[in-house]
Structures are given as structure tokens and as C-alpha cells.
Amino acid sequence: MKIVTGTEMQSLDRRTIVEAQIPSAVLMERAGEGIVRHLEDYCGPARGKTITILCGKGNNGGDGLVVARLLHRRRARIHVILLTPITDLGRDTAMMYRQLVRIAGRTAIVRFRSIDQTRTLLASSDILVDALLGTGLSAAVTGAYREAIELINNAGKPVIAIDIPSGLHADTGAILGQAIRATLTVTCGLPKLGLYVNAGIDQAGAVRVADIGIPSAYVDAIETRTLLLTADGAFESLPERMPSSHKGTFGHAGIIAGSVGKTGAAALAAQAALRVGAGLVTVATPSSVNDVLEGKLLEAMTMPLPETKARTLARSGLDRILAFIQARKAVAIGPGLSTHHETVELVQSLMQHLDRPSVLDADALNALTGRALLLTECKTPPILTPHPGEMARLEVDATTQSVNADRIGTAKRFAQERGVFVVLKGARTVIARPDGLIAICPTGNPGMATAGTGDVLTGMIVGLLAQGIPAWDAACTATYFHGLAGDLAAQQFGQQGMLAGDLIAQIPYAFQQRKTI
């Protein structure tokens, strides 16, 4: 699904109205229907609930008035607070106001005048709906709108934002003075970029998309190079498992990982590769930690390799590692390897020999600090899975802060310059490919900010690569299901108590979610 800017969405609306001859009031009606559907999916039936909708003068307010009318029909107790005189309402918004008055009466609608009165009304509500400001906002929020936003944020109630949380820039995710902290944002037509970057990640809450009937030909014509990963796309990328299949059908993944004290990273990656369906997995690891690793793995195999005195992979094992790689369908390099100077040299030497699908993570990325040009020697473009700190070490003159300030630009630029695939991990993971296409993952949660979850992602990607899935699809699909497994783990354990192993246990259940998503 394409992600658009506010201007691109306005252009799509305009084309739909002018060329497809679908009146703007019809689009507003469709938006209201989609918002109410998602509201009830998320919060339960509206019947009997007290729901207060705060409306501005523009189309966002018009959507809110449609929502109020539809909720009234569902037997919710509705209250509408207008932030502007009726005479200042836009044409379509005024029409929706009159329709609401006809079925709910004027007593359901009040003007925003008294802060104390509004605070009391919000306190007595079960759900609040933000229909104040839309995607056209470009200046700081002031006056009554700012006061209303502060009251909503302080009310301690679930907040449903229409299209985008009021006060949030639709393109940059910046807070313009003050912005709604939404529990759920129902964005109309197509997702807006500002919901997935910068402060938008925290302000938007859960994000759902309401289809308003924009013709697909118009959407296809939008030149955006930024996509949102979807459940349909993720499930479609999974390989079919024919009745005649055997373990050789689903490939042999090799994982070069581990060192003293860090066999857990290797074990997590191996288990994750098996959980996504790889037929065979073998981990190449320093000889003295091999027995420790075998004790952690039942279904995966291990291969002991020459090691340094520090019990890390030695430069002398290069030929054996090259043979190991040649015998595997896909390889992952990096989890728990350490940054011992011999191991770093070994990893650097491997770059020119990577002639098959591969994933570079963790210490494999650290080994390329200041040597990122070596990536251009890979015969097959690898997938890199850095967190912001690792990304900063790969980039010239970059810091973790500068990476996080421009996650999309950083991932896109590096992928294009080095001819690689980049999975920049973090809140709303960004995936970039060498031609500049970007995808953003909507799944995942803060409970995944714990040791080992990156190793799980690496294992999931190499497990899909081993099954013959192309690099871009493997990166996107693994990232989507990695986040979904994390969301399922959070439901079961809560975010604070989650472990990386909990994600692995949830991978099979993530694959069963197609019936419910």
C-alpha cells in the first residue's frame, strides 16, 4: 500500500471529485463509515457508550459530524463540540451539521466556550473523537484549538483521531505547537507519511486505513516510492508447501555466528530460521563454544571452526567458511561474532565471496565500520539489518541521532550508494532497496526493545532466503511477521516482560493470523 504526503492525498481527492465525478460529500460519508467501523473494531460496540466528538470547521470536522450521526444511529450517546461558529463551517461540513441536527437535535451540539464545561464533558465520556484539524495544517496550533487538544490529552480517555492526530504535520510527523496523543488513528484513503516518522509514531497510536473509494488507477499514478507493508503482501510472499515437499525443498540456511559469552545470539537466529520454515539450519561457530551451542539447539546443526585465543572465529578458518557458504542456499553473518581484530578481518575477507543471498547483522556490520565500500564487492547484494547505532557507524559523519532524525533518507541513501538492501530497525522499521524503493513496517511494539530480538529477525530473513524468496520480499515479509510475532507476545506477556525467545514461540501463531487480520 502506498504511503502519501498531505499534498498527494489532496491531489487524489481532487481527481476523484473532478474526474471520477464522486462528490466530496460522498467521500466524507464513506470516511465516516470507515471510521466508525474501525472505532467499533477497536473499542467494541458503540451502543450505550458516551462518545464526544470535537469538530473543526474544515473537512476533518465534516468527517467528525458524519461519525457523530452514524454513532447516534448505533445508539451511542453522542456529544459534539464545535470549535467554530456554524457560519464558518465549510460547505460540506455545514451540510453534515444540518443532517446531524435533523436526527440528533441541536442539544447534542455545543460550542467550545468554557474550558471547565468542556473538561467536565470529556470526563463523562467513554471515548473521544478528534476531528479538529486535518492534513493541511502547516502552522503552529494556537487559541481554542490548542486548548481543546490539551484538554483531550489530559482527559485520560481513549482518543480516536480522524485521518491524522490534530496538530501533527502530515509529511514530517512533527508536532506543530501541540498535537493529539491518539489511541487509534483512522486515516482516510491512504496512510499519511507523518504517521510513521518522528513524533507521529508516538502520537498516532494504532493506525488503521479507511477505504473511501479512490479509483485504483489514480493511486497507481501517484509517484511515491514509499510503501506500507500489509498483511496481504506478507502472506502472499510465503512459499507454498506442497504435499510432496521434504526438508530439502525448503533450503539449507547457514549462520556464521557466536563467540564466548554470545552463543545465545547464534541460537536465537537458528531457531528463528527454522520457525519460518527453513528445511535445514547449520550454525558455524568457534570450536570451543560449539558444545555450548549444541546444548541450546535440538533441531539445528552446528559446525566447529578454527578460533582465536579469545574464542572467536579465526582468520585461519577462511577456507572452511567459504566451503560452508558454498554448501548453503543462503547465509547470515554476524550475531554474537565479537569485534576481535581477527574476526573483523575474516568478515571483511568474506565480502568479495558472497555470491548467494545473505544477511549481515550485528558484528558483521561493526566489522565494516569505515570499510562500507567493501559491500560493493559482494557478488549478490546482501541484506543489512542495522539498528540506528550500527547504521551510524556505517555512514560517514553520521550519529545515532542523525540517523533517527532521517530514518527513511538514511536507509534509502545507503541502499542506493552501496547497492544493498537495508532493514533499518527501530520504531517503524524502514526497509530500503538499491533502486530507492522504501517500505515501512506497521507491526511491532516497544516490548521488542530487548536483547536478542534483532538476532531473531536475522534468522527469520535467512530462513526465508533459504526457501528461495527474493531478497526484497524476504526482508519485507520477515520484518512484518517479526513485528506481528512481537505484538502477539506482548498480548500474552505484556511489553515489559517480553524476551526474544517469546517472539520465536509466536512465529507459528503469526502465520495463522490471516483469518483474523
User: Within this chain, do residues 189 and 261 fall inside the same structural domain, yes or no?
Assistant: no
Judge whether 242 lies within some domain.
no
Q: DSSP code of 277? A: T
User: Within this chain, do residues 181 and 255 fall inside the same structural domain, yes or no?
Assistant: no
| Separation in Å, CA 103 to CA 37, 66, 131, 447 | 20, 12, 20, 45
Q: For the chain, what is the radius of gyration of the CA atoms?
A: 26
Q: 163-181 burial, b for 16+ CB within 10 Å, e for fewer?
A: bbbbbbbbbebbbbebbbb
CATH number at residue 373: 3.40.1190.20
User: Within this chain, do residues 88 and 198 fall inside the same structural domain, yes or no?
Assistant: yes
Q: What angle do CA 361, 365, 367 make, to 5 degrees?
A: 135
User: Within this chain, do residues 206 and 264 fall inside the same structural domain, yes or no?
Assistant: no
Residue from 40, 54, 74 nearest 122 by CA? 54
Judge whether 244 lies within some domain.
no
Please answer whether residues 167 and 176 qualify as being in contact, where contact means their C-beta atoms are separated by less than 8 angstroms: yes
CA distance 142 to 130: 16
Handedness of CA 320, 326, 327, 328 (dihedral sign): positive
Single-letter code of the amino acid located at 416: Q
Residue whose C-alpha cell reads 508447501 in the numeric block = 241
Q: 371-389 burial, b for 16+ CB within 10 Å, e for fewer?
A: ebebbeebeebbbbbbbbe
Tens-digit pLDDT profile for residues 358-378 = 999 999 999 999 999 999 999
Tens-digit pLDDT profile for residues 265-279 = 999 999 999 999 999
- pLDDT (mean) for 49-75: 97
- pLDDT (mean) for 58-73: 97
Residue from 393, 338, 513 nearest 443 by CA? 513
Mean pLDDT of the chain: 96
Tens-digit pLDDT profile for residues 6-32 = 999 999 999 999 999 999 999 999 999
pTM of the model: 0.94
CA distance 96 to 404: 42
Please answer whether residues 135 and 167 qualify as being in contact, where contact means their C-beta atoms are separated by less than 8 angstroms: no
pLDDT value, residue 221: 95
- pLDDT (mean) for 484-489: 98
Judge whether 110 lies within some domain.
yes
User: Within this chain, do residues 437 and 361 fall inside the same structural domain, yes or no?
Assistant: yes
Read off the C-alpha cell for 352.
568479495
Judge whether 517 lies within some domain.
no
Residues 6+ away with beta carbon under 8 Å from 191: 1, 3, 4, 207, 209, 228
User: Within this chain, do residues 204 and 270 fall inside the same structural domain, yes or no?
Assistant: no
Confidence of residue 113 (pLDDT cuts 50, 70, 90): confident
- pLDDT (mean) for 410-429: 97
Q: What is the largest CA-CA distance in the chain?
A: 83
User: Within this chain, do residues 26 and 126 fall inside the same structural domain, yes or no?
Assistant: yes
Confidence of residue 515 (pLDDT cuts 50, 70, 90): low
Strands 421-424 and 430-432: antiparallel
CATH number at residue 83: 3.40.50.10260
pLDDT at 114 over 90: no
Judge whether 289 lies within some domain.
yes
Strands 330-333 and 252-256: parallel
Strand partners, 50: 77
pLDDT at 514 over 90: no
- pLDDT (mean) for 67-96: 96
User: Within this chain, do residues 281 and 412 fall inside the same structural domain, yes or no?
Assistant: yes
Strand partners, 360: 333, 384
Tens-digit pLDDT profile for residues 230-267 = 999 999 999 999 999 999 999 999 999 999 999 999 99
Last-in-domain residue among 162, 188, 223 = 223
CA distance 499 to 451: 8
User: Within this chain, do residues 208 and 262 fall inside the same structural domain, yes or no?
Assistant: no
Judge whether 383 lies within some domain.
yes
pLDDT at 517 over 60: no
- Domain residues for the domain of 147 are 6-223
Strands 383-384 and 358-360: parallel
What is the number of domains present in the chain? 2
- pLDDT (mean) for 110-135: 95
Tens-digit pLDDT profile for residues 100-111 = 999 999 999 999
Last-in-domain residue among 161, 188, 223 = 223
pLDDT at 414 over 50: yes
User: Within this chain, do residues 309 and 390 fall inside the same structural domain, yes or no?
Assistant: yes
User: Within this chain, do residues 19 and 118 fall inside the same structural domain, yes or no?
Assistant: yes
Instruction: Give me the percent of the chain exceeding a pLDDT of 70.
Output: 99
Judge whether 15 lies within some domain.
yes
User: Within this chain, do residues 307 and 418 fall inside the same structural domain, yes or no?
Assistant: yes
Q: Is 230 exposed, middle or buried (0-12, 13-18, 19+ CB in 10 A)?
A: middle
Q: 209-218 burial, b for 16+ CB within 10 Å, e for fewer?
A: bbebebeeeb
Judge whether 516 lies within some domain.
no
pLDDT at 516 over 80: no
